[in-house]
Amino acid sequence: MTVPIIKLGDNLIITIQTEMTDDMAVEAQNKILSRIRETEARGLLIDLSVIDVIDSFMGRVLNDTAMMARLMGAQTVVAGIQPGVAVTFMELGLKMKNVYTVLDIEQGLELLKSLE
Amino acid sequence: MIVDLDITNELDVLFARNTAKCLAGEMGFSREDIARIDLAVSELAHNLISHAIQGKLILNKRFSSGQTVFEAVSLDNGPGIDDLERVFELGYSTKGSLGIGLNSVLEVVDELLIDSDAGKGTQVIVRKWLR
């Protein structure tokens, strides 16, 4: 099971389509970084609308990915955070660093456009 | 209802999470509480494979003083925990991880019991009350 990455203009769109194991998350991270390199993307839009929970490992991978993408010149926007994810994220005291958050992909694309 | 799961790899973790979500959903927990239960089970199951290599996770619907309770019990024969006080310190980790695993579990459940013998293993019980 690999994560599909779609190139749209200067942006990469990643839709996570299933809950992921740690290995899958790390593999996706590597794939995203190499795609940024290949496509010289300026923006990264990650859709998490099917994810029910971001645990401590996933939270770290997400933050790391955004930080790495930023070092490579791409901004990260996370879309589709579900209420349960938001609640548990807060309760864990986790922080989204280096990440913009929006409600859905449509808003995400608009935001990336305005960041250019 | 009792579900008894062997946790030896990450796919088992996903399966345990899904089972816990189904069980909590059937029990009538809210979406937010299902997410909390999902998170707690995820952290417990991850601890089993990262610290003990393998272990058991028992998911259970219980009744206590007229209330419905979701219970998850994690059992392993791993190295155990030397210093139980420290596992709840934020940032304490013996594995080089963020050290928020058990701490985060504490934040999202109503009850957390932990019992560990160094060298013999660890038992963790978490409970979430249906409101």
The CATH number for A98's domain is 3.30.750.24
Task: State how far the Cα of A83 lies from the Cα of B77, in Å rounded to an integer.
Answer: 36
Which CATH number fits the domain B2-129, given the four candidates 3.40.50.970, 3.40.50.300, 3.30.565.10, 2.60.40.10? 3.30.565.10
Residues of B in contact with A53 (CB under 8 A): 17, 35, 38-39, 42
What pLDDT is attached to residue B98?
Answer: 46
Domain housing A106: 5-115
Residue A92 has pLDDT above 70, yes or no: yes
Confidence of residue A101 (pLDDT cuts 50, 70, 90): very high
3-state secondary structure chain A: CCCCEEEECCEEEEECCCCCCHHHHHHHHHHHHHHHHHHCCCEEEEECCCCCCCCHHHHHHHHHHHHHHHHCCCEEEEECCCHHHHHHHHHHCCCCCCEEEECCHHHHHHHHHHHC
Residues of B in contact with A60 (CB under 8 A): 98
Percent share of chain B, pLDDT over 70: 89
Percent share of chain A, pLDDT over 90: 71
Total structural domains in chain A? Answer: 1
Q: Which residue has the tokens 């995203």?
A: A32
What pLDDT is attached to residue B60?
Answer: 95
Structure tokens at A35: 């795609």
Mean pLDDT of B62-89: 85
Mean pLDDT of A56-85: 93
Residue B105 has pLDDT above 90, yes or no: no
Site from B22, B87, B104 to mutate, A interface, most A CB atoms within 10 angstroms: B104
Residue B90 has pLDDT above 70, yes or no: no
Q: Which of A35-39, A49-53, B27-31, B116-120 has the lowest mean pLDDT?
A: B116-120
Higher pLDDT, B90 or B46: B46
Residue B94 has pLDDT above 70, yes or no: no
Q: What distance in Å separates residue B9's CA from the closest CA in chain A?
A: 9
Residue A56 to residue B18, Cβ atoms within 8 A? no
Identify the contact set of chain A against chain B, taking CB-CB distances under 8 A: 19, 21-23, 52-53, 55-57, 60, 82-85, 87-88, 91-94
Residues of B in contact with A52 (CB under 8 A): 21, 34-35, 38
Query: Could you report the predicted ipTM of this complex, rounded to two decimals?
Result: 0.75
Confidence of residue B96 (pLDDT cuts 50, 70, 90): very low
Q: Could you report the per-residue pLDDT of A14-69, keeping only the tens digit for each?
A: 999 888 888 899 999 999 999 999 999 999 999 999 998 888 888 889 999 999 99
- Selection from A66, A88, A79, A85 nearest residue B107 by Cα: A88
Higher pLDDT, B2 or A12: A12
What pLDDT is attached to residue A99?
Answer: 92
Strand partners, A47: A15, A79
Residue B97 has pLDDT above 60, yes or no: no
Mean pLDDT of B93-120: 75
Residues of B in contact with A56 (CB under 8 A): 43, 97-98, 100-101, 104
Domain extents for chain B? 2-129
Partner residue facing B98 (CB), from A56, A82, A87: A56
